[in-house]
Amino acid sequence: MAPNDKIKDILTRYWEGESTVDEELLLAEYFTQSDIDPELLVYQPLFRYFEVEKDTASPAGFEADLMQKIAAPVIQLDRPVRKFNFQVIMRTAAGIALVIGTLVVIDWYQYKSKNLDLYADTYETPEAALAGLKSALIQVSDQIDGSSEIVHEQFQKLEDTQTISF
């Protein structure tokens, strides 16, 4: 196996998390060289960063503080259990039902006191209804015809202004 193929194989195992410490040291050593396969040049800055950062010291007392927090017991706070009070729910539901019932009765009483027939016919005969419909449609048609004449006039003015040249 060629050296570059071996490095590629180790690199594949490295990205999958299956490489050994010795293989990772071999990768670090390979990427600190100047003679690197052009395909693998993209990984060089990463491994050089690892090489530079491995000598960086953590702040004073960091490890002791970390170990203290790891060893500290975990305290779980008990949340109070909310219990639904059935009586409160029933009282609320009864109050809402009472308000809705009162509103329905008041509305019904007002309707009956006015003696309104909401579904009464407007016209006495079907012929009268047809005549009223025709009259309404004629009025709508007249409005549409009037507005189409205005639109036609506006388009004519627009065409006149476009034909004038300076």
Q: How far from 120 is each of 32, 107, 111, CA to CA, in Å? A: 96, 20, 14
Query: pLDDT value at position 64?
Result: 84
Query: pLDDT value at position 77?
Result: 72
In this predicted model, what pLDDT tens digit does every residue of 47-85 receive, in sequence order? 888 877 777 777 788 888 888 888 888 777 777 767 778
Segment 19-26 shows an average pLDDT of 87
Nearest in space to 44 (alpha carbons), one of 60, 57, 58, 28: 28
Confidence check: pLDDT of 1 > 60: no
